[in-house]
Amino acid sequence: MWRGLLLVAAISLVAMDPGQTGGNARRASAQQLLAEARTELRQRPAAERAESWAYLAHQESDGGLGATQDFLAAFGQAKALPASQYGLKAEVESDAVDALLEAGDEADAIRLGLAADAGRGFIQDRLVPEELSQGQIAAAWFLWSKATSPTAPSPFPYHAATALLALPPPNPAWLDSLKAQGLAATEQVADVAGGESGLEFLQALQAANPSDTSVTRAALHLWRALPRLAGTTWEIASLRGQLQTLIQKADKNAAADLSTKAPSPPHPHLEGGRPAAAPPRAGAPPVAAAAASAEPSGMGYFELYASASMARDHVMQPEMVASAFRRLTPAIAKADPAGLAELAVGCFELKRAADSQHLLAQALAAAAAMANATPTGPVDYSRSTALHIFGLAAEIDFLGTATQALSLRPSALKPAILARVARMAAASTTWKPGQQVAILN
């Protein structure tokens, strides 16, 4: 508690420092909030830190504050996770490399790419084409040669491999290894997306060497595996047709044999190995009716939010804000705190300060309750109402919002909220408060 109060005092002093310009003061305040967010992150369970640190880095980057060190930290946190958390490891590792490339930090991106484990396949598909787009053929092959096989079940980097097939490598053995790895990977695909990538690779391999019988064998293996691939019926049918065309080009006898040995179609209640939606139970209430019964009377759930958002899109037309305000009820306010925050911004734009502050206080109280009720992760950052509200609030009352964020109890959301408020503080040096829709996501 005392630490939070001291930080609030420090941020207030920065804001009042006559030697600081408005932009510099808000950036300095943002850095203080980010530092506190990192402190909070270090106290969170290891399973939360990687994704949360990546979110912090993105907020920092979107605020124009420079985030290389935090992306490096997120990558390190992800790599330290156990193999049982493969999905999270792969997502954060590849995300960090993508972000560094977008920021123009190619050296760090390549360094991380070569150090990745779970995300190696995704990263190769990003790094190799990046080098080729710059005409760096030797460098692209060098990256490929230095990367060991992706950690299972990391997808084989078909996009990178296909791009390299037609380009002579400095070492002929590299091309032989690439072909062998790609052919072996086509036997391990689990879904239609992997099958389509494998098909693209086989097509490129056949174009480079039409007499290569290994292409036919791999294509036949993939064709026979179609019934077990996850995907919709039409996706599998499309892939089947393309495979037959490929096999027809390579071996007409094998293609003719396919017509008499077509794979069994998916089970009628499956979409290519993936369970289809179950039919409704007899007597079950319609979904729409059930959803409607859960909404508060009068204005529906999120209708306030939509109305207030539309008002913002129309440069806060007074009549639209007034209409939303008139229709506001206690039930709607409780059900739709994000709508309250949007309406608070609208009132702020129209210089209705008292209304704006009243609405914002209610919205922030609801958001704080949500954050305090989320002691552990995982967190869906893209759909978090609490994060959205704190971001909106920071547009019109940065100091008050920062104070509220710092006073939150330790939780899975607190570091993200601090980072979000920091981003808005920094971004407001460029975007006018109330007109930051483009940076709210």
What's the chain's average pLDDT? 79
Name the amino acid, one letter, at 222.
Answer: L
Query: Which segment of 41-55, 100-114, 150-164, 370-384 scores lowest on mean pLDDT?
Result: 150-164
Give the distance, in angstroms, between the CA of residue 257 and the centroid of all CA atoms in the same chain. 44
What integer pLDDT is reported at residue 262 of this predicted model? Answer: 55
Query: What is the maximum alpha-carbon separation in the chain?
Result: 84
- Using 50, 70 and 90 to split pLDDT, how confident is the model at 325? confident
> For residue 354, is pLDDT > 50?
yes
Q: What is the mean pLDDT of residues 352-358?
A: 90
pLDDT digits (tens, 9 = 90+) for 256-311: 666 555 555 554 434 444 344 444 433 333 333 333 333 333 344 345 655 555 55
Q: What number is the average pLDDT over the span 126-152?
A: 83
At 274, which helix (H) or strand (E)? strand 274-275
Q: What is the DSSP letter of 439?
A: G
Residue 128 has pLDDT above 70, yes or no: yes
pLDDT above 90: percentage of residues in the chain: 45
Cis omega (within 30 of 0) for bond into 378: yes
- Count Cα atoms within 13 angstroms, Cβ side, for 123: 35
Q: Which amino acid is at 215?
A: V
Model confidence at 95, pLDDT cuts 50, 70, 90, reads very high
DSSP 3-state of 271? strand
Checking if the pLDDT of 373 tops 50, the result is yes
* Separation of CA 114 from chain center: 22
* pLDDT for 287: 34
Q: What angle do helix axes 414-427 and 46-62 make, rounded to 10 degrees? A: 10
**425 pLDDT higher than 70:** yes
Q: What percent of the chain has pLDDT over 70?
A: 75
Q: Residue range 400-420: average pLDDT?
A: 94
**Could you tell me the residue ranges of all domains in the chain?**
187-265, 300-374+383-439
Overall average pLDDT of the 6-28 stretch: 55
Contact in structure between 419 and 406 (CB atoms under 8 Å)? no
For residue range 215-262, what is the model confidence (pLDDT) as tens digits? 999 999 999 999 988 888 889 999 999 998 998 887 776 666 665 555
**Which ranges in 103-136 belong to alpha helices (H)?**
106-115, 120-133
